[in-house]
Amino acid sequence: MKNSASDADVARVEEYVRREGYEPHTIRGEVRTVVAAVGDEVEHASLESLESLPTVEKVMPVQKGYKLIARDTHPETVNVDVGGVEIGGAGFTVIAGPCAVESQEQMEVVASKVKASGAAILRGGAFKPRTSPYDFQGLQEEGLNILRKTKEKFGIPIVTEVVREGDVEKISAIADMLQIGARNSSNFALLETAADTGKPVLLKRGMAQSVREWLLAAEYLVKRGNRNVVLCERGIRTFESATRNTLDLSAVVLAKQECSLPVFVDPSHAAGRVDLIIPLAKAAVAVGADGLLVEVHPCPEEARSDPGQQLNPDQFNDLMRAIKPYIDLAK
């Protein structure tokens, strides 16, 4: 309450708090009075509108709003099964593959190479969210077919992006995991549609999304009854122009502390350049990430999207060898 609040003003706030389903506990200090509203903020209405009263100084929520995923209430990290591959357990999981699915041959070369180097899950976008409408939008249905055939041939689970609600059903018929990209991580209708398939969801952090907003987006998924959610930090937009984005490793640590979902790092979209990917991958392991998402193309200079950041298969093999001692150390 403001200093000027009278007993009648306090009583009015107590009454309001009670009406909204909370129990008011009023603390009268020497100068100020604080009305504590005891109750579950997630289940009851927000009390923020009290701030419109001239005698109320400030309304301070104490709960975080993501109670279904909060580490406080679920201390154990959630294990997510992606087509038989476990994410979030004791191991470290690497997802690799091209930015976009471009041809059957491209996917087969990449699948055999990344699998041999130790990747557990294959990625590749059939539907691409591109910044320009004139850029390659992905092979779409044809891309899905290529993913299906590649999965059958190599027996490796597939993650691919969903961009539109209307495509979720056909994509989930083939994918083992649905990726929600940075541009869609606040598209709540898409999040709910993806969650309702029951498939695991890889939720990228939006490029201007705070950690709290990112976790609340994950809460949207889990609230639909789908706990199979993996977070993925992929860099945020800052003033720095030497890299495509700024990899926020603090967010990885914070997300791990705050919630019980596994957290991945995507150094490819974070850096946007090949020479930083291995050092950033080591850093990701060191801060406690559960896995990596890395773009790999058989011939990066010919890639139809994100050519400057995709590793070739040899570079990817180097990455896997380079992170191995860090993984052993982190155990």
Binding site for ligand PEP (CB under 6 A): 99, 125, 129, 181-183, 204, 234, 269
Q: Which is nearer to ligand PEP, 17 or 204 (CB)?
A: 204
Facing residues of 45 across strands?
A: none
Whether 100 contacts 299, CB under 8 Å: no
* Residue 148 interacting entry, from Mn ion, ligand PEP, none, C-beta within 5 to 8 Å by type: none
Degrees, nearest 5: CA angle 295-77-201: 45
Q: Which is nearer to ligand PEP, 100 or 323 (CB)?
A: 100
Minimum Å gap between C-beta 3 and ligand PEP is 48
Task: Kindly identify the residues of this chain, within the stretch 43-82, that bind Mn ion according to CB under 5 A.
Answer: none
Whether 222 contacts 69, CB under 8 Å: yes
Question: What is the Cα–Cα distance from 211 to 263, expressed in whole angstroms?
Answer: 12
* Residue 204 interacting entry, from ligand PEP, Mn ion, none, C-beta within 5 to 8 Å by type: ligand PEP
Question: What is the Cα–Cα distance from 50 to 47, expressed in whole angstroms?
Answer: 6
* Residue 234 interacting entry, from ligand PEP, Mn ion, none, C-beta within 5 to 8 Å by type: ligand PEP
Q: Which is nearer to Mn ion, 5 or 100 (CB)?
A: 100
Minimum Å gap between C-beta 306 and Mn ion is 4
Q: Which is nearer to ligand PEP, 3 or 131 (CB)?
A: 131
Minimum Å gap between C-beta 51 and ligand PEP is 36
Q: Which is nearer to ligand PEP, 113 or 205 (CB)?
A: 205
Q: Which is nearer to ligand PEP, 22 or 316 (CB)?
A: 316
Minimum Å gap between C-beta 283 and ligand PEP is 18
Phi and psi angles of residue 277, each rounded to the nearest 5 degrees, phi first: -65, -45
Minimum Å gap between C-beta 190 and ligand PEP is 12
Alpha helices in the chain (DSSP H): 7-19, 104-117, 141-154, 168-172, 188-196, 211-223, 249-258, 267-271, 277-286, 313-330
Degrees, nearest 5: CA angle 207-288-262: 65
Task: Kindly identify the residues of this chain, within the stretch 81-110, that bind Mn ion according to CB under 5 A.
Answer: 99
Q: Which is nearer to Mn ion, 69 or 236 (CB)?
A: 236
Positive/negative CA dihedral, 320, 326, 330, 331? positive
Whether 283 contacts 249, CB under 8 Å: yes
Task: Kindly identify the residues of this chain, within the stretch 125-164, that bind Mn ion according to CB under 5 A.
Answer: none
Cα 314 from chain centre:
28
Q: Which is nearer to ligand PEP, 172 or 310 (CB)?
A: 310
Minimum Å gap between C-beta 50 and ligand PEP is 38
Stated as kind and residue range, the H or E segment containing 265 is strand 263-265
Facing residues of 159 across strands?
A: 123, 177
* Residue 17 interacting entry, from Mn ion, ligand PEP, none, C-beta within 5 to 8 Å by type: none
Task: Kindly identify the residues of this chain, within the stretch 287-306, that bind Mn ion according to CB under 5 A.
Answer: 306
Minimum Å gap between C-beta 137 and ligand PEP is 12
Which DSSP symbol is given to 100? B
Residue with tokens 């009583």: 11
Minimum Å gap between C-beta 159 and ligand PEP is 9
Positive/negative CA dihedral, 318, 319, 322, 327? negative
- In the complex, which residues of this chain contact Mn ion (CB under 5 A)? 99, 306
